[in-house]
Structure 1
Amino acid sequence: MLGSHINFSLRSYATKLNHHQKLLMARSLPKKETLFGVKDIIVVASGKGGVGKSTIAANFACTLARLGKRVGLLDGDIFGPSIPLLMNIQSEPLLNDKNLMIPPENYNVKCLSMGMLTPLDGSIIWRGPLVMSAIQRLLKGTDWGLLDILVIDTPPGTGDVHLSLNQHVPVTGVILVSTPHTASIQVTIRGAKMYEKMNVPIFGVVENMRYSICENCKSRIEFFKKDVSMESLPLKLISIPLDAHIADCSEAGVPMVVKYPNSEYANQFKRLAKEICSLIEKK
């Protein structure tokens, strides 16, 4: 009986503490503000690094642009920006008469990244508050013009960038990126739980590098065991193949969907872009 009473008291205390923490956080949270001229914001996220999330974000943004959408691409990875390389943009953004940054454009996509504001061989060593301040500056200190969709490529994990984004702007939805193996799936589940707690809609999961297409016989080559379950993840949107040309395209700064628009890779991105546009229209 004594043990049950102690457990009940601990649960009661934990409930009160959790409620108190939520009240404190609510007082300190900034007010969400829409970005002028931007209709929808889509976050591309992954719990684990190395799953190809930035490549997915760049090709997704380019595919939306090729479908006639007005698109922006923000690199939210402050410490390891890769969008400048993937989109072949190394120039610094200009400033307009209101001291707002004008994002450089390539492949009909407006791009902005911390990598455009720092030397290539430089490193950023910041604590959380500076990272959150930088994200706010990149978001709200930029003249994005009129955009249908702003795609935000986020760093791996569930840290400051994700929290800052959700605190400052209304996020339309999240695309999670994972490879179909247990280590990646487990971490992706944690990322999904984070966005669920923040009440951000999850569009679904992009399963990356699941298979490849043989150039000779055109058969499908699977890289992962078929018994790896993704049932605990949100809805799977598409499976993206691993293509031999991805590395060359990335290093040259020409997204696959631009250089090889009729490939299996590009066709899957067309499916993804159309599906996301359909989900946005239904919201």
Structure 2
Amino acid sequence: MAIDKAAILERLKTVMDPELHRDIVTLNMVTNVAYCDGLADITVTLPKSAAGIKEMLEGRIREALRELNLAKVEVSFAYRLTAAEQEAATANGGGQEQAEEQAEQSPQDVARASNPLPSVKHVIAVGAGKGGVGKSTVSVNLAVALARSGAKVGIMDGDIYGPSLPTMLGTDKLELKTIGNMIVPFEMHGVKVTTIGALVEDDKPLIWRGPMAHGAFKQLATQTDWGDLDYLIIDLPPGTGDVPLTLSQLLPLAGAVVVCTPQKVAQDDAVRALKMFEQLDINILGVVENMSYFIGNDGVEYDIFGRGGAEMMAQENGVPFLGSIPINMGLRKNSDAGDPTANFEDSKLGEELMNVAKRLTHQVSLSGPEDWTPSISIS
């Protein structure tokens, strides 16, 4: 059986309200269903007076979904006032906020309502459908480019299974500091940085199940003293899984950037990443084509992987294209040395990186008040 939102809703139609003896879908109690790669997140909205049946309903929901063999099911509950309860609350001079509560909530609605980082203006996720396409390289250089434009920027190494930022930003030799239960971020190349790599031994493999990954990601995001930021870049693990779902429920996002190389096989995986973000109600800010072309010592540009493939994929899926980044010996060398600032001393590479950042800020400005987004000038 193909598993999607419709299939999950069909199974939920077998779950009956124990008092009304009608299914919870027909009763409009199921107010959100999000599904991605075996992970289902379901929100059920009950009348406030029916809070006592929550555990019973959750058990019936899990039983109904058992035959779908989902990897993980998250069931959360919200509450609303019935018309009679609203009338009584209004008559008593209170409860208006509860009476006006929206019945339908996406994961991002939940995140916006309980935003744990109110001093961060724009949270941007950088993801990829597969590993090896340079997602962390793009994340780091976007963060540095935005900082060079005058913005206050932070970057979080959300790739908790294989953190790359300690090497790319040169934090691997620094000692982590905390104040109380808050992590003090490193400040490198004009960017505030936090990474799981600072909390574990360099050669220790991170073999974590979903709940452990969820907890580590949440701690890094919410227990880092970010201060006031214009942008927080989050470098996600490759592929689709627990961490993007956790992010969608935890932080309100300005949107996501998907990194892709030109080949068809990379495009296929990038499309899965696009669909994942769409299912999680996260705006797609654009696609970046990394390793787009190579400039030889003779000055000739070589399209090793088929330049333009990611741009075509973006057009076919109706999402913005933010630009291309070439294969560059200096970029590799500077990443290994933890010195991304040096990338901007190369006029050609620096211009490409700043152009990608400029297009990104434009897309962010379309998702919120213009005065939130610093402008970038290229000199």
The two structures have a TM-score, normalised by structure 1, of: 0.88
Shift of 1:227: 8.4
SS across alignment from 1:176: strand
Q: Quote the residue 2:347 is aligned against.
A: 263
1:196 equivalenced with 2:286 (yes/no): no
Q: Quote the residue 1:134 is aligned against.
A: 216
Distance in 1, matches of 2:232 and 2:164, equals 17
State the AA in 2 paired with 1:26: T
Q: Quote the residue 1:278 is aligned against.
A: 362
State the AA in 1 paired with 2:42: M
Q: Quote the residue 2:62 is aligned against.
A: none
Matched-pair contact (CA < 8 Å) for 1:104–1:111: yes
2:117 aligned residue (17, 22, 35):
35
Question: Rg bigger for which structure?
Answer: 2
Matched ranges for 1:101-140 at <5 A: 101-140=183-222
SS across alignment from 1:170: coil
Distance in 2, matches of 1:242 and 1:107, equals 22
Q: Quote the residue 2:178 is aligned against.
A: 95
Q: Provide Cα deviations, 1:114-168, integer angstroms capped at 9, x if missing partner.
A: 0011011112221100100111100111110111000000111110110000110
Matched ranges for 1:247-262 at <5 A: 247-255=332-340, 257-262=341-346
Distance in 2, matches of 1:226 and 1:65, equals 29
Q: Quote the residue 1:6 is aligned against.
A: none
SS across alignment from 1:78: coil
State the AA in 1 paired with 2:43: A
SS across alignment from 1:25: strand
Alignment RMSD, CA only? 2.3
Distance in 1, matches of 2:184 and 2:349, equals 31
Q: Quote the residue 1:25 is aligned against.
A: 42
The two structures have a TM-score, normalised by structure 2, of: 0.67
Distance in 1, matches of 2:156 and 2:147, equals 15
Distance in 2, matches of 1:76 and 1:48, equals 15
Gap runs ≥5 in structure 1: 1-11
Matched-pair contact (CA < 8 Å) for 1:46–1:53: yes
Matched-pair contact (CA < 8 Å) for 1:34–1:170: no
> How many residues get paired?
270
State the AA in 2 paired with 1:254: D
Q: Provide Cα deviations, 1:82-101, integer angstroms capped at 9, x if missing partner.
A: 001000002243112x4211
Gap runs ≥5 in structure 2: 1-5, 13-24, 35-40, 45-74, 77-106, 368-379
Matched-pair contact (CA < 8 Å) for 2:192–2:226: yes
Distance in 2, matches of 1:15 and 1:66, equals 48
Q: Quote the residue 2:305 is aligned against.
A: 224
Percent identity between matched residues is 36
